[in-house]
A and B are shown apart, each in its own frame.
Chain A
Amino acid sequence: MTVAIFVALVIGLLLLRVNVVLVLAVATAYVHLYFASGSELAFLAQDLWFAIDREVLLSIPMFMIAGAVMTRGTIAARLIRVMSALTAPIPGGLAIAAVLSCAVFAAISGSSIVTMLAVGSIMYPALIKEGYGRNFSLGLMCSAGTLGIIIPPSIPMILYGIMTETSITDLFIAGVVPGMLLTFLFCAYALAVNRMKTVRAWDLQEIASSVRHGIWALLMPIILLGGIYTGYYTPTEAAAVSLVYALIVELFIHREMKPREYITVVFETTKLLGTLLPLLAIAGSLNTILDYEGVPKAWAEMVSQVVTDPGAQLAGINILLLVVGCIMDIGSAILILAPLLMPMVHSIGLDPVHFGVVMIMNLEIGYLTPPVGINLFIAMVAFKESFGRIVVSVLPFIALMLFALVLVILIPEIALYAVQAMR
């Protein structure tokens, strides 16, 4: 009965043209009141607060504003001109450049969202402008962004290491080759999809000219990456540094942006964040309820009881992780499930470092799966595309990631060879 009322309430509100975020708020409040044991409405407010009271949120608006400044000014266009000139002879060259940029950025950022935003806010408009398919470009940016957590450093790997007493250094090393494998697969797919795209031979004059005009723009990624790599600032602080650098270059060097336009850009970002933040906060509350109600725990126990054959258990664990990835954020999933799954992992005989990589690769896919796919939410808002379209756009990339996942499960050496070589 309560379930029926719940469904009727949600559908009724949507039919009456109430915004999704408010419908979600009502739905979550309902869950607190009628489904969660010993819960009350006050806890929803508490969850909202803690969801937005985190340092990790800082880099999201900063990279969004920086990207918008660079797109409204000319840094983005100049960077893209250089990249187009350099990749002219390769079909899908700009898309490959986008993937490689994500991989390089991933090597200094431990977060999927930050990687997607830092690269995507420039590359996505560029891909569209260069005539790449809208769905292809969206899917590419969303999925290449997830490289941020498989190529070290990686915040989820740190969490996994702490929760399972596995060496985080080993996990980082083990992530390198699988990260390169994914990068390779995304590039190969970009090449295959765009193989009919017209290509041009390298034009040395155009390359030289684009570099000359783009020198300040080219310094941008160098300052961003170099500053983090040499210990001047953290990835979070780098977001603010890139914004300030972009503003200085656009306002005082290129002078193709007026100070007034800065206000427009920030106002636009405010609206984006105003759409995104409440969604993330409510998703965070549902996350906490699932955790406190012991849902993922019960599922993990189910897997260990229902199947006993090691192969079937491994398959069961992977399906569990994929399902959990659909509804929970990766941090909570690791905090809850990693210690719970460890006994099973040991009994199957998996190396905990290998399993760590497998777990991250599983949950990485969760960034792209509805209903709770953080990269989908952010892409929807940052790239102004409909949720449905983005969900469809990532499907081929999910297939590629599943393929890579199966490879890493079946051939542990992909993850472990480098670790054993270093030991």
Chain B
Amino acid sequence: MQKFLRGWQWLESAVAVVAFTLVAGALIVDVMGRELFALFNNIGMYDFAESWLGGVFGAQRFAVHATQIAGMLGFSIVVGTGGHLRPTVVDKLFPDHMDGLVNRVSDLISAGICAGLAWMCWDFMLSTKANHEISMVFQIEIWPFQLILAYVFASAAARYLCYVAMPSARPDTKGGDL
């Protein structure tokens, strides 16, 4: 199972890295396209500029969606690395020998909360789909973009459940001290 969790983590990280790279890429291509258009237009080559150059319509919107994907994937990745913020001072409340049990209860609750959030976001996505709400810029339905919310919470819930089933796979969560 640890191998599976690692592979899963790797996959989500890879998607996030690619998404962030696309954000930078989209913004740069947009800027370059329109500034080169301006450059060639200024030297009297409007026709060339007009047919080959120009900003990319929707580049910023695309970048926003890629940021959503990368950033939200970060949420479930951080569950995997134990990095979410929490006040670790409260850990002293339970004696050390109870750590295993308390952590399991904690993971079970966290799984429940994440599952709840996932269900809620899925439901929201369905309402968007039912209304056929669109992206003004891309003129396509917006609901597929909203899937990322439901996915990351479901992914986090599943991860917590894995830790309940197999505590040895659980990361140290003392890292994100508040």
A, B in one complex: yes
Nearest residue, chain A, Cβ from B16: A270
Check A392 for interface membership: any CB of B closer than 8 A: no
Q: Which of A41, A52, A269 contacts B68 (CB 8 A)?
A: A52
Find out whether the CB atom of B123 lies under 8 angstroms from the CB atom of A61. no
**Known contacts A20-B85, A277-B71; is-contact A244 B24 (Cβ 8 Å):** yes
**8 Å CB contacts to B: which residues of A61-79?**
61-62, 65
B81, chain A: closest CB distance, angstroms: 7
B 60-91 to A, binary, CB cutoff 8 A, 1 in contact else 0:
11011001101111111110010111110011
**Known contacts A19-B85, A20-B87, A275-B83; is-contact A53 B17 (Cβ 8 Å):** no
Check A155 for interface membership: any CB of B closer than 8 A: no
| Distance between Cα atoms of A49 and B127 in the complex (Å) | 13
A78, chain B: closest CB distance, angstroms: 22
A 19-30 to B, binary, CB cutoff 8 A, 1 in contact else 0:
111100110010
B 103-138 to A, binary, CB cutoff 8 A, 1 in contact else 0:
101100110011011001101100100000000000
**8 Å CB contacts to B: which residues of A1-36?**
13-22, 25-26, 29
| Distance between Cα atoms of A180 and B64 in the complex (Å) | 34
Find out whether the CB atom of A274 lies under 8 angstroms from the CB atom of B86. no
Task: Determine the chain B residues whose CB is within 8 A of the CB of A19 once the complex forms.
Answer: 84-86, 110, 173, 176
| Distance between Cα atoms of A42 and B117 in the complex (Å) | 10
Find out whether the CB atom of A61 lies under 8 angstroms from the CB atom of B67. yes
Find out whether the CB atom of A25 lies under 8 angstroms from the CB atom of B117. yes
Nearest residue, chain B, Cβ from A57: B67
Find out whether the CB atom of B31 lies under 8 angstroms from the CB atom of A13. no
Check B177 for interface membership: any CB of A closer than 8 A: yes
Check A307 for interface membership: any CB of B closer than 8 A: no
Q: Which of B70, B84, B110, B117 contacts A270 (CB 8 A)?
A: B70
Size of B's binding interface in residues, CB under 8 A: 57
Find out whether the CB atom of A62 lies under 8 angstroms from the CB atom of B35. no
| Distance between Cα atoms of A194 and B142 in the complex (Å) | 54
Find out whether the CB atom of B76 lies under 8 angstroms from the CB atom of A45. no
Check B140 for interface membership: any CB of A closer than 8 A: no
Find out whether the CB atom of A275 lies under 8 angstroms from the CB atom of B64. no
Task: Report the stretch among A131-139, A206-214, A232-240 that lies at the interface.
Answer: A232-240
Task: Determine the chain A residues whose CB is within 8 A of the CB of B86 once the complex forms.
Answer: 14, 17-20
Find out whether the CB atom of A270 lies under 8 angstroms from the CB atom of B13. yes
Nearest residue, chain A, Cβ from B178: A387
Task: Determine the chain A residues whose CB is within 8 A of the CB of B21 once the complex forms.
Answer: 266
Task: Determine the chain B residues whose CB is within 8 A of the CB of A29 once the complex forms.
Answer: 116, 120
Specify the main secondary structure of chain A where it touches its partner. Answer: helix
B84, chain A: closest CB distance, angstroms: 4
Check B49 for interface membership: any CB of A closer than 8 A: no
| Distance between Cα atoms of A16 and B105 in the complex (Å) | 8
Check B1 for interface membership: any CB of A closer than 8 A: no
Find out whether the CB atom of B31 lies under 8 angstroms from the CB atom of A267. no
**8 Å CB contacts to B: which residues of A252-270?**
263, 266-267, 269-270
Check A129 for interface membership: any CB of B closer than 8 A: no
Q: Which of A42, A61, A239, A244 contacts B127 (CB 8 A)?
A: A42
| Distance between Cα atoms of A387 and B177 in the complex (Å) | 8
Most interface-central of B74, B116, B127 (chain A CB within 10 A)? B74
**Known contacts A244-B28, A270-B74; is-contact A58 B178 (Cβ 8 Å):** no
| Distance between Cα atoms of A233 and B76 in the complex (Å) | 34
Check A423 for interface membership: any CB of B closer than 8 A: no
Q: Which of A13, A48, A55, A241 contacts B28 (CB 8 A)?
A: A241
B 7-39 to A, binary, CB cutoff 8 A, 1 in contact else 0:
000000100110011011001101100010000
| Distance between Cα atoms of A275 and B70 in the complex (Å) | 12
Find out whether the CB atom of A278 lies under 8 angstroms from the CB atom of B75. yes
Check B149 for interface membership: any CB of A closer than 8 A: yes
| Distance between Cα atoms of A18 and B104 in the complex (Å) | 11
Task: Determine the chain A residues whose CB is within 8 A of the CB of B81 once the complex forms.
Answer: 271
Check B102 for interface membership: any CB of A closer than 8 A: yes
Task: Determine the chain A residues whose CB is within 8 A of the CB of B73 once the complex forms.
Answer: 270, 274
Task: Determine the chain B residues whose CB is within 8 A of the CB of A55 once the complex forms.
Answer: 60-61, 64
Residues of B bordering A, CB below 8 Å = 13, 16-17, 20-21, 23-24, 27-28, 30-31, 35, 60-61, 63-64, 67-68, 70-78, 81, 83-87, 90-91, 93, 102-103, 105-106, 109-110, 113-114, 116-117, 120-121, 123-124, 127, 146, 149, 173, 176-178
In the assembled complex, 20 residue pairs joining A and B whose CB atoms fall closer than 8 Å, in A order, are A13-B109, A15-B90, A17-B86, A20-B87, A21-B85, A29-B116, A41-B120, A42-B124, A42-B127, A52-B67, A58-B23, A61-B20, A62-B23, A62-B27, A236-B27, A240-B31, A241-B27, A271-B83, A273-B71, A275-B176
